[in-house]
């Protein structure tokens, strides 16, 4: 199973927040998730904007999960290095 780490949108109009989730990459964005590894609140202040469980993310990355571009940039800002692998 190919998994991806991506954002799942919640909240109301003009007040979005996102959960950083691990999901089967073939499923729709609103479908069931395998794990929740963090939260992203873009309208909050800078200190509480991103909360990530670094150990869980590293574990999923070692298992082969591929982060989306946005999640990759959030992880880099938090100090989690993500090496880019080529999909065949």
CA 54 to CA 83: how far, in whole Å? 15
pLDDT given for residue 85 in this prediction: 59
Sign of CA dihedral 24, 25, 26, 27: positive
CA 62 to CA 46: how far, in whole Å? 29
CA 67 to CA 60: how far, in whole Å? 10
Please name each of the domains of the chain with its CATH number.
3-77 (3.30.1320.10)
Query: Which residue's entry shows tokens 């591929």?
Result: 66
Whether the predicted pLDDT of 87 surpasses 70: no
The pTM assigned to this predicted structure is 0.83
User: What are the tens digits of pLDDT across the range 15-55?
Assistant: 999 999 999 988 887 888 899 999 999 887 777 788 999 99
CA 74 to CA 40: how far, in whole Å? 9
């Amino acid at each position: 199973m190919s998994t991806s780490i991506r954002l799942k949108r919640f909240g109301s109009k003009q007040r979005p927040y996102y959960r950083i989730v691990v999901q089967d990459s073939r499923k729709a964005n609103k479908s069931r998730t395998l794990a929740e590894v963090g939260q992203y609140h873009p309208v909050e202040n800078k200190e509480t904007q991103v909360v990530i469980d670094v150990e869980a993310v590293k574990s999923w990355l070692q298992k082969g999960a591929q982060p989306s571009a946005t999640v990759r940039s959030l992880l880099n800002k938090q100090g989690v290095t993500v090496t880019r692998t080529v999909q065949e």
